């Protein structure tokens, strides 16, 4: 586990983009292609903005994303596919893009994603951490046992309030209660995980993750500490509640 603390979210995002590009370029040099897993949400704005400006042969990069709400068209302001099209896939010419598309039928979507993602490991996974310490939409108590690639999850109230607070929905009742999400098991199969977690609203989650004495599905992000190549990138605001002894 590596922990880096930055002055601000833009500084964090720039550093994360450079590191991600280095990892992608190394994978392309070694195997001729790279596979990238991308998170969404307000905390990823600066990282994605900087990432699309990096020098990478994007035609050799295959991208997956983590999750999508059930029963939501990709034209909805909160759709993660819309988010990624606007901020990433419309700006760089990726070799392949695999979106979570529940409208084709949930079972068909789950099967198609599993087939594609199991073809080869993810080289770089950008995995955010939610205000309730979730990874993807795996809210506490997260299912650490499933060996599926993606599955249906129920969203807890704190997760739904985060989506409301970030401005994606007009009221809490408008926030969906279910989503399709990559499983913790599948996330952990990635070769390298980089977590970009800025902002004061994430301070409790960072404190809980770093100070927890053991891995627990009640703090899903603690699972990342078991990964052989995990880099946590936080800013001074998100680090503000964590005991200094847990920080570099």
User: Could you tell me the CATH number of the domain that includes residue 220?
Assistant: 3.40.50.1360
Q: How many domains does the chain have?
A: 1
248: pLDDT confidence band, cut at 50, 70 and 90? very high
Query: Average pLDDT, whole number, for the chain?
Result: 97
Tell me the per-residue pLDDT of 11-54, one tens digit each, with 9 for 90 and over.
Answer: 999 999 999 999 999 999 999 999 999 999 999 999 999 999 99
Q: Where are the alpha helices (DSSP H) in the chain?
A: 9-31, 45-51, 80-84, 106-117, 157-165, 184-188, 203-211
Instruction: Tell me what percent of the residues of the chain surpass a pLDDT of 90.
Output: 100
Q: 217 to each of 51, 182, 212, 220, how far by Cα in Å?
A: 31, 15, 11, 5
How does pLDDT run across 210-245, given as a tens digit for each residue?
A: 999 999 999 999 999 999 999 999 999 999 999 999
Q: For the chain, what percent of residues have pLDDT higher than 70?
A: 100
Contacts with 203 (C-beta within 8 Å, 6 or more apart), sequence order: 237, 238, 239, 240, 241, 242
95 is a domain residue: yes
Q: What angle do CA 42, 100, 195 make, to 5 degrees?
A: 40
Can you read off the two tokens belonging to residue 12? 């964090």
Q: Is 241 among the domain residues? A: no
Whether residue 246 lies inside any domain: the answer is no
Assigned domain for 150 exists: yes
Output the CA–CA distances (angstroms, integers) from residue 16 to 10, 55, 170, 226, in the order listed: 10, 14, 31, 20
How confident is the model at residue 100, as a pLDDT? 97
Which pTM does this prediction carry?
Answer: 0.96
3-state secondary structure 121-187: CCCEEECCCCCCCCECCECCCCCCCCCCCEEEEECCHHHHHHHHHCCCCCCHHHCCCEEEEECHHHH
Q: Is 210 inside any structural domain?
A: yes
> Does residue 199 sit within a domain?
yes
For residue 35, CA distances in Å to 30, 96, 110, 217, 223 come to 13, 9, 19, 27, 22
Is 212 part of a structural domain of the chain? yes
Residue 12 belongs to domain spanning: 2-20+53-186+194-229
Give the tokens for residue 22. Answer: 């280095």
Structure tokens at 102: 């529940």
Residue 248 belongs to a domain? no
Region at 32 (left for phi over 0; alpha for psi -120 to 50; beta for the rest) = left
């Amino acid at each position: 586990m590596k922990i880096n603390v930055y002055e601000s979210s833009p500084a964090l995002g720039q550093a994360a983009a450079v590191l991600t590009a280095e990892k992608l370029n190394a994978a392309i040099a070694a195997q001729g292609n790279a596979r990238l897993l991308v998170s969404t949400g307000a905390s990823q704005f600066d990282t994605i903005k900087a990432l699309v400006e990096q020098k990478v042969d994007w035609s050799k990069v295959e991208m997956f994303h983590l999750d999508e709400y059930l029963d939501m068209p990709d034209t909805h302001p909160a759709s993660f596919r819309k988010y990624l099209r606007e901020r990433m896939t419309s700006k760089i010419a990726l070799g392949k893009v695999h979106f979570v598309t529940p409208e084709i039928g949930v079972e068909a979507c789950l099967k198609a994603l599993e087939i594609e993602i199991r073809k080869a490991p993810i080289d770089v996974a950008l995995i955010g951490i939610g205000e309730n310490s979730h990874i993807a939409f795996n809210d506490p108590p997260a299912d650490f046992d499933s060996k599926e690639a993606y599955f249906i999850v129920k969203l807890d109230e704190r997760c739904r309030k985060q989506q409301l607070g970030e401005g994606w929905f007009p009221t809490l009742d408008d926030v969906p209660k279910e989503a399709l999400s990559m499983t913790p098991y599948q996330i952990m199969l990635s070769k390298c995980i980089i977590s970009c977690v800025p902002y004061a609203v994430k301070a409790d989650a960072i404190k809980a993750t770093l100070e927890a004495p053991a891995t627990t599905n009640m703090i899903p992000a603690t699972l990342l500490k078991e990964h052989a190549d995990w880099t946590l990138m936080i800013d001074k605001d998100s680090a503000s509640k964590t005991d200094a002894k847990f920080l570099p």
